Amino acid sequence: MKKTHFLVSMLALAFLSSCQNSDENDNESLRKEEVHNKTVNVTNHDGRPFSTGGGSAAGKFVSGPGGGVMMQGFYWDVPEGGTWWNTVKDKLTAWSDSGISAVWLPPASKAQNGAYSMGYDPTDYYDFGNFNQNGSVETRFGSRTELEALITKAHAENMQVYADIVINHNSGGQSQANPFTGTNTWTDFSGVASGKFQRSYHDFYKNSYGNNDEGAFGGFPDLCHANPYVQDWLWGRDDSVGKYYKNVMKFDGWRFDYVKGFGPWVVNNWNSNVGGFSVGELWDSNVNTLEWWANNANSSVFDFAAYYKMDEAFDNGNLNILNDDMMWKRNPYKAVTFVANHDTDIINNKMQAYAYILTHEGYPTIFYRDYEEWLNKERLNNLIWIHNNKATGTTSILYTDNDEYIARRNGYNGNPGLVVYINNSSSWQERWVETNWSSKQIKDFTGHSGWYPTTQGDKWVKIQAPPNSYSIWSLNQ
């Protein structure tokens, strides 16, 4: 749901490299005491749709050891005119070849504003741009045929497709007399063109089930999930919204919009009856609230706790805050991490933030405009490759201060893991750290550093990171 859109002016990022050579024998015992170790007892997100390192020669996504990467395949106010499904479809091979495992699409069904709507004011859940209603046949994004072609192409590239599901509220109904309010309300959806999931004032609060649930949004009619008729049409019957999206339209998962507006039991019931991957938009920075919702919804949740910590860390010079609690530390299997989305874009130092989420646990999301328009795509592809090939195992935070952050992924099932070094200062920095590897040559897989140091027998090594940037180290193999 569109809340507040922050316009961020992006500065060009300069990536520095070093041609220095490392002397790994100097003052090792003196430098060890500089490093303070903290272990976070969390696990790799091996349950996610896995992704490949750099894709395959055929451009098809193939799973790798590090986990999946999701692309948010839209932004707020994408171009009108019914071209967006084709725009996304044409990018799928390149995304797959880069190691992206899934694409999240905007709400796909017809909404009140027809060809001008971003879909968050849904009218007819079964009109994907194939019925003439609300002033148009196609949605803002295109026709049903074009949407189906996009999904088919994604599956041919071994990618999953996630639908944005808006079930807190509806819009575009006709006026009807409502005995529960004593006024007329815009709750008559008996004339939806698909003929499916017809609704009336009985299906919205306030009604015979009560005055309200967890929350309404924007003055729109608030759908009553307590009504068995609504439950049946959302997830129960064979042609319910959820089952139609999955079995007919072939969506693989769900991003649930504005889940603050209804209880987590709603998503839990949807997941139990429909299946597929799911993530909820619970806009709350409190990690306890995020964990509570994810557990009760049996769903992943966007890690807003990490999002706001990253803003404080990378934009406000306080990398120590990355020691704080986040959803990915509580349960990486249920944490979807992100740097920006269609609703909020407050982090300025985005490359450091992407280096963070693509080397840490959780299910990382790439924002379309960051990837296609605003940031260095080559550097993002490099981070995706590192994530998919090296980011395995539990996480140990090795060192933090205001300007520096170093963490180790401890490896899993024979994969060596990595060490990430983020440097927010204006000069090159060096640290001695304890790695996973004894007497092994390592390298910076970002190419920012030209060092090829060899770890000592006790696994310690000196690494470096460029100013206002990052380096990521693993075995030179």
Residue list, annotated binding site for Ca(2+): 168, 232, 238
Please, which residues bridge with residue 406 across strands? 399, 421
Catalytic residue among 121, 281, 291, 403: 281
Q: Is 281 a catalytic residue?
A: yes
Choose the catalytic residue: 257, 291, 361, 434.
257
Can you spell out the DSSP letters for 252-302?
Answer: -EEEES-GGGS-HHHHHHHHHHH-SEEEE------HHHHHHHHHHHTSEEE
How many Cβ atoms are within 10 Å of 373's Cβ, its own excluded?
11
**AA letter at 23:** D
DSSP per-residue codes, 70-98: EEE---TT--SSS-HHHHHHHHHHHHHHT
Task: Specify whether the CB–CB gap between 361 and 328 falls below 8 A.
Answer: yes
Question: Binding site: what residues are annotated?
Answer: 168, 232, 238
Q: Edge to edge, what strands does the sheet with 404-409 contain?
A: 38-40, 395-400, 404-409, 418-423, 469-475, 442-444
d(CA 286, CA 284): 6
The token pair that represents 233 in the structure block: 């049409």
H or E segment at 3? none
Query: Which residues are known catalytic residues?
Result: 257, 281
